[in-house]
Every structure is written in structure tokens, then in C-alpha cells.
Amino acid sequence: MSETATHSAPLDGVRIIEFAGIGPGPFACMMLADMGAEIIRIERPVTESGSESLHQKDFMLRGRKSIALNLKSPEAAGIVLKLLKQADGLVEGFRPGVMERLGIGPDICLQTNPKLVYGRMTGWGQDGPLANAAGHDLNYIALTGALWATGEASRPPAFAMNLLGDFGGGGMYLAYGMVCALLKAQSTGHGDVIDASICDGTLNLMTFIHARRAMGEWKDERQANFLDGGVPWYAVYECADGHWISIAPLEPQFWSCLLKLLEITDEAFNNREDEANWPTIRTRLEDKFKSRPRQHWVDLLEGTDACFAPVLSPVDAARHPHIRARSLFVDGQSDQPAVAPRFQQAVLEPSTPVPACGDDSKQVLLDAGFAEAEVKRLMADKVVQGRDTD
């Protein structure tokens, strides 16, 4: 293998046609683009003035080419199928049946390109009683048990924005499925259709919890287990200045490290396996941490084996020395997260900025084999929208 091939991005040479959507689909395509795939995003023509400035701040749309296509046009399906002849994959996030009604469902697309990997992103899945119902992240994590199990026992279930469902159970599983099917298509010449569901992915993420239940190590009670805030040594605590810190010394040696640094010698802390001691331990830790501001505990505990971290806001996180040292934001900025994961050999080029809607319409069509006169006609007939309309 040549040095150039060794150091190229992992998905260099892969071309994906993405149908514009929100949430998990664009996130999956961002992941693929970050790994070097060429993503051609099919967007709806812009009808509202002033919307482009916000559009171009949607960092999940980075690393794309954009073509604005009126999917309701009778010519749209033919254009898409021509694009797919030179593509490796397709990603769509419509409700079940929409792509079929547009004339670009999996069957016809795979007839056009047998090696195509057809990724479908939905909340509930392509079939089942809820398949055609509307929903959002909160609904999907609610149905799978993930929401019920999270939060304090005396309060309603808590949720971490839409990270668990949309992006964890949805977008990441779609990206993983796409890469798996692309690898198979490379070796067999046969594509596949991926039914990626936020509900499915979230439930799969719960495998660890279900395994602990099967072992008799997990209670079906909120805040009653070792990873849900049930134990006082895996929890967040308020400091004197109103800020918060987290501790997570699950292993005995890390617990001992924390106690030594906090100069705690109470007998109850040495017998933490006895649940009768948990209220005492929690109260003592609450009093301890609330006696000093957060920075005091950062100075004392950060970087040790006490399993400690301050609870930072997104803005404060961008300023943290570890985040800055790892260059986890693009160009050291505090708004756009950088590519992850990183590789020892593969070179990941900086993502291109978010394109304006239709920025690449003309070039995408020309590259697909459309004649320039035909491209101008499609633009004049408002089948396609782009910058070059003369």
C-alpha cells in the first residue's frame, strides 16, 4: 500500500447522496464527511429570504456539497437516479414510504446501482405499530426505558437534551451501519438497505443495563444503582459558590485516593458496601464540597486518580486546558467541535464550511454527466436552484 493511501482519510473516495433533514441524519453525514467521504446534500430550494445566514451556522452541515432540487418536480427522480449511478451510498430521513412515493425508493435505486448502500433514518423504524407516527428524541428514549431510568428518585425523569436518542441511538448507529454496509459492498458488489431507528439504537445502548439486570445487579428503581446517582460516590455535588463538581471513584483504589485527598477517615466511608452507610456518606460529602468554591476542589482533585471533574457549561468547557490542549474545537474557537475520533496514520483534512443552499448545483450536475445547456434549462424551469442561473 502506498504512503498516500495509508495517510488518506478513512472514507476518501466514498460518495454519499444525502437528502436534507434535521437531527440524526445530518449528524451521521457529518461523521462520514469528517472521515473524508464526499457528501452531496440534496436540499429544498430556498423560499425565505434571510434564512441562509442561520443555515451556514449549522455546523452539522459542514464538509458538504449542496444541490437545491425540487423533489416535487416530475424530473427530480430522474436527476437523483443519475446522481446515484456514481454514488456509493444514500441517506434519507423521511417517514416510511415517502421516498417510494417520490420514485426513489430502495428497490429502484438498487436497480440503478446494485452496490448502493441505502441508509434510512427514522424514529420508530420502517415497520411496527408506531412506524408512521410523529415523534422526537424525548419520545423515543421514553419508550425504550432510557428516560425512566434517568434522574433523581423524587423528581420527574431527566434527559440530556437530545444527545442520547437523536445522536447516540440515531445518527451514530446510522453512520456505523453505513460504514459496515459499504465495507460489504466493496467486497461483494452488493449494496444493502439500512433500517436505522432511534428507538432501536437507544435500546441497544441499554444493553449494559439489561445485562446488569440479568445478573441481579440492577434495580428497576430510579437513583438506586451505581451509575444512576444511587450511590454517593458516583454523583454531583454543589460547591460554596453555587457551581458543581462530579466524582466517580467506582473502584476501591480510586475511592481510597479520594478519601485521602479529602482527609476523610470516618468508619462509614471504609464500609461503603453497606447501604445503611450511604446517607451518612452522602451528607458528609455534601457538607465537605459545599464548604469551599469549585476552584478549590479543582486544584485539589483534578488530574488525580480520585475520578473527578468540574461540571462545566459548554462555554466554560471550551476554555478548559485539557479541551484546548487536545484542540477539540475547530481552530481553537469555542463554538464548533472538531472531528473525532483521531487517527495515527490517516490524515483528516479540515472540514469545508457549510455551503449555501444550492452552492454546488451546477457543478454537481455537470459532474454527473448533464450537459451545460440541460443544467441551464433545469434551473430556468426551477427544477434546480443554484447560483448560476444565467
What is the rounded (10 degree) CA torsion for 72, 192, 163, 323? -110
Cell of 313: 457549561
Number of separate helices (H) and strands (E) present in the chain: 18, 10
- Residues contacting residue 158 through CB under 8 Å, at least 6 positions apart: 150, 151, 152
CA gap 218, 93 in Å, rounded: 35
pLDDT band for 210, please (50, 70, 90 cuts): very high
CA gap 316, 310 in Å, rounded: 10
Is the Cβ–Cβ distance between 80 and 104 less than 8 Å?
A: yes
Sequence-ordered strand ranges (E) for 78-191 = 89-92, 117-122
Query: What's the 3-state SS for 258-278?
Result: HHHHHCCCCHHHHCCCCHHHH
> Which active-site residues does the annotation give?
136, 166
Per-residue pLDDT, 389: 46
Which domains are assigned to the chain? 3-206+340-385 (3.40.50.10540), 231-311 (3.30.1540.10)
Per-residue pLDDT, 351: 79
45: DSSP letter: P
Round the average pLDDT of the chain to a whole number and report it.
93
Model-level pTM? 0.93
pLDDT digits (tens, 9 = 90+) for 211-220: 999 999 999 9
Cell of 8: 488518506
What are φ and ψ of residue 41, in 5° steps?
A: -95, 120
CA gap 375, 34 in Å, rounded: 30
Cell of 193: 438497505
CA gap 195, 164 in Å, rounded: 18
Cell of 271: 464500609
Task: Judge if the upstream peptide bond of residue 341 is cis by omega within 30 degrees of 0.
Answer: yes
pLDDT band for 377, please (50, 70, 90 cuts): very high
High-pLDDT (> 90) share of the chain, %: 88
pLDDT digits (tens, 9 = 90+) for 133-187: 999 999 999 999 999 989 899 999 999 999 999 999 999 999 999 999 999 999 9
Q: Report the pLDDT averaged over residues 336-350.
A: 90
Pairing of strands 384-385, 64-69: antiparallel
What are φ and ψ of residue 18, in 5° steps?
A: -110, 130
Per-residue pLDDT, 3: 56
Question: At 309, is the secondary structure helix, strand, or coil?
Answer: strand
